[in-house]
């Protein structure tokens, strides 16, 4: 009986791993890297560069949120911005096509360090840095810990301050040292891309995703085993990292623009952006009535205007 159970378990494991590998291969074939690869201290970083490369326009780095990749920014925002900026879109560690930094979950400070050095490899020594959602926390860590390597900061629905709600069961399981590695291959093997697309669509509420967005983002990339694990660990560790960093935001001296929707139920305006705007001297907060967690898609002109204000304030563009 025991031998039969062991054999059955082995067969299940083989099936799950085979299906997981097949799903990952399909995702990477359907959504290959959009840009180029850099090597920063032995770490592979995926970067998409758009816009003039002759030094005639400011450098702008875009950092995506949790579970995302460069495709969130390259769908619409980056091409629009590339008319007036050299836009650098970077995959965060473990997501998209940037390799994981470690097995414990790269901290926001470690991520900021890696992405800053990747941008510098591309010649962007002091770029404007925009972060969305989780990427906002990375952008803040960049501004605090590498103040001489940033010209201006733009936060879009960014996670900034401590909160008091607990970690969801999903992230508790996937970040667990034992349960996570057991559960993740089953998710990769059996969860369909359409379920991820549905979850992404819900993040836009009360808006709908723009036409073509769900087909562009590459939901299957999110379901790869290493990405699920990296994202879960980063999300599980985020609150503690923000608790350790947030008292230093008053050290930020670069021009700061903050954009946040009043209808955002994912990263609350009153918890994050409002107190952040009071803590950073000269920060300008733009609130958007009726807009949810994805202003860069639901109200892109407002985000583009905030970037322009940051560039003007930093002396990188002339005011009209």
- Give the C-alpha distances (Å, rounded to integers) separating 90 from 44, 45, 141, 165: 11, 7, 16, 29
Q: Which residues are CB-contacts of 15 (< 8 A; sequence separation ≥ 6)?
A: 189
pTM over 0.75: yes
Strand 284-288: give its sheet, edge to edge. 36-40, 43-50, 86-90, 59-63, 128-132, 152-156, 256-261, 284-288
In degrees, rounded to 5, the angle at the alpha carbon of residue 77 between the alpha carbons of residues 307 and 281 is: 25
Judge whether 184 and 168 are in contact, CB under 8 Å: no
Calpha distance 150→268 (Å, rounded):
26
**pLDDT 10s digit of each residue in the chain, 320 long?**
666 666 666 677 788 899 999 999 999 999 999 999 999 999 999 999 999 988 899 999 999 999 999 999 999 999 999 999 999 999 999 999 999 998 888 999 999 999 999 999 999 999 999 999 999 999 999 999 999 999 999 999 999 999 999 999 999 999 999 999 999 999 999 999 999 899 988 999 999 999 999 999 999 999 999 999 999 999 999 999 999 999 999 999 999 999 999 999 999 999 999 999 999 999 999 999 999 999 999 999 999 999 999 999 999 988 87
Phi-psi region of 51 (alpha: psi -120 to 50; beta: other; left: phi over 0): left
Tokens 């032995």, located at residue: 42
């Amino acid at each position: 009986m025991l031998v039969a159970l062991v054999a059955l378990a082995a067969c299940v494991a083989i099936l799950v791993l085979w299906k997981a590998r097949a799903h990952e291969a399909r995702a990477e074939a359907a959504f290959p890297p959009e840009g180029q690869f850099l090597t920063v201290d032995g770490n592979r970083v995926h970067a998409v560069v758009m816009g003039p490369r002759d030094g005639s326009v400011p450098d702008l780095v875009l950092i995506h949120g949790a579970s995302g990749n460069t495709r969130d920014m390259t769908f619409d925002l980056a091409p629009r911005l590339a008319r007036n900026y050299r836009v650098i879109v970077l995959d965060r560690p473990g997501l998209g096509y940037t390799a994981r930094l470690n097995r414990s979950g790269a901290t926001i400070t470690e991520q900021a360090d890696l992405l800053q050095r990747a941008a510098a490899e591309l010649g962007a020594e002091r770029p404007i840095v925009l972060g969305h959602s989780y990427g906002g926390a990375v952008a803040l860590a960049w501004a605090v810990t590498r103040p001489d390597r940033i010209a201006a900061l733009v936060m879009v629905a960014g996670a900034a301050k401590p909160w008091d709600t607990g970690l969801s069961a999903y992230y508790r399981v996937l970040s667990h040292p034992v349960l996570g590695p057991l559960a993740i291959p089953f998710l990769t093997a059996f969860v369909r891309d359409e379920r991820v697309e549905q979850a992404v669509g819900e993040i836009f509420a009360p808006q709908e995703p723009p036409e073509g967005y769900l087909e562009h983002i590459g939901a299957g990339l999110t379901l790869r085993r290493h990405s699920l694990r990296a994202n879960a660990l980063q999300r599980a560790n985020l609150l503690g990292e923000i608790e350790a960093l947030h008292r230093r935001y008053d050290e930020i001296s670069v021009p700061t623009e903050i954009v946040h929707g009043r209808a955002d139920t994912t990263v609350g305006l009153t918890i994050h952006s409002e107190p952040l705007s009071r803590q950073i001297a000269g920060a300008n907060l733009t609130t958007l009535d009726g807009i949810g967690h994805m202003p860069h898609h639901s109200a892109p002109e407002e985000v583009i205007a905030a970037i322009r204000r940051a560039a003007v304030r930093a002396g990188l563009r002339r005011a009209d």
